Chains A and B, each alone.
Chain A
Amino acid sequence: MSDNLIRYISKPHPVTGVTNAKLGIWCFLASEVMLFGGLFSAYVLLRTGAPLWPRGSEILNVPLATLNTIILITSSVTMVMAWASLAMKEFSKYKRYMGMTILLALAFLVVKAFEYGHKFEHHHFPSTNTFYAIYFTLTGLHGLHIVGGVVVNTYFLFPGSRMWEHDPEQFMGRIECAGLYWHFVDLVWIFLFPVLYLL
């Protein structure tokens, strides 16, 4: 094996006990927590500083957001099932579950597009007021993360899945890391949903 390769991407590092890939994705997710944390902090600051703040349920579409919550939770299950299928050496099942994860992510984006479209029709933009500014910023950034997840998962469904034939262990590690990212995106939505839509 060439010395130029990154080591311990499939086997756990003897010092940390985890693969470098897994440690790397967790450090990335830590930075993501800080990114969203800054915006949540801005939300608290804006809300506590405002003399009036609308209840999200009165101006946003709660049924659509509830539907999106269920879609995202379901996609988290299909993602973890994709990883479990690989662990059971069932590649065709992996493809089915990964395909479902991508379709559910696209469904989330379509619902979100309807929601945004409805807001724009009524001339509600980020510049309309502070509530809409933080609403569009938080949901827009989250939506971009969904798009990123779709791109990565589509790569692992089609060209990237060829790795399964020659290095199944590393491929499984990659799906585990993609899964960690995807569950994080779900986790962010779990907090965004009540904070923006229900309170």
Chain B
Amino acid sequence: MEHSTEEIKKHVKVYIAVFAALAFLTVVTVAISYLHLPIFQAILVALVIATIKGSLVACFFMHLISEKQIIFSVLLLTVVFFAALLLLPVFTSGHPHVA
């Protein structure tokens, strides 16, 4: 893939902004953990923030935002199987507790 120097300089500004956002969200995650929210709310908030951070890394550092269709096809299949793996405990445990 060919990139002009100007284009890359714009990318670099985005990388710095993403870094600042990731650092800020890390501080927010830790700060919220000190609020001692009820466990379901704590899990929800922590996973939402982690998903935002993960999306920033995937979209900008891994350049998914400008990726080709074939890569999305591979990832879609991965997401389906990953979701199935995470749902397995739900189907296999009769009376789950969250301690």
Contacts and interface: CB of A to CB of B under 8 A. Distances in A.
Contacts of B92: 45
A17 B69 contact: yes
Interface in A41-61: 41, 44-45, 47-53, 57
The A interface is mostly helix, strand or loop, or mixed, namely helix
How extensive is the interface on chain A, given as a class?
35 or more
B15 A81 contact: yes
Interface of A: 12, 16-18, 22-23, 26-27, 30, 33-34, 37-38, 40-41, 44-45, 47-53, 57, 62, 66, 69-70, 73-74, 76-77, 79-81, 84, 87-88, 179-180, 183-184, 186-187, 190-191, 193-195, 198-199
Task: State the 6 A-B residue pairs at the shortest beta-carbon distance, nearest first.
Answer: A48-B96, A53-B99, A194-B46, A45-B89, A198-B33, A30-B78
Interface of B: 1, 3, 5, 8-9, 11-12, 15-16, 18-19, 22-23, 26, 29-30, 33, 39, 42-43, 46-47, 49-50, 53-54, 57-58, 61-62, 67-71, 74-75, 77-78, 81-82, 85-86, 88-89, 92-93, 96-99
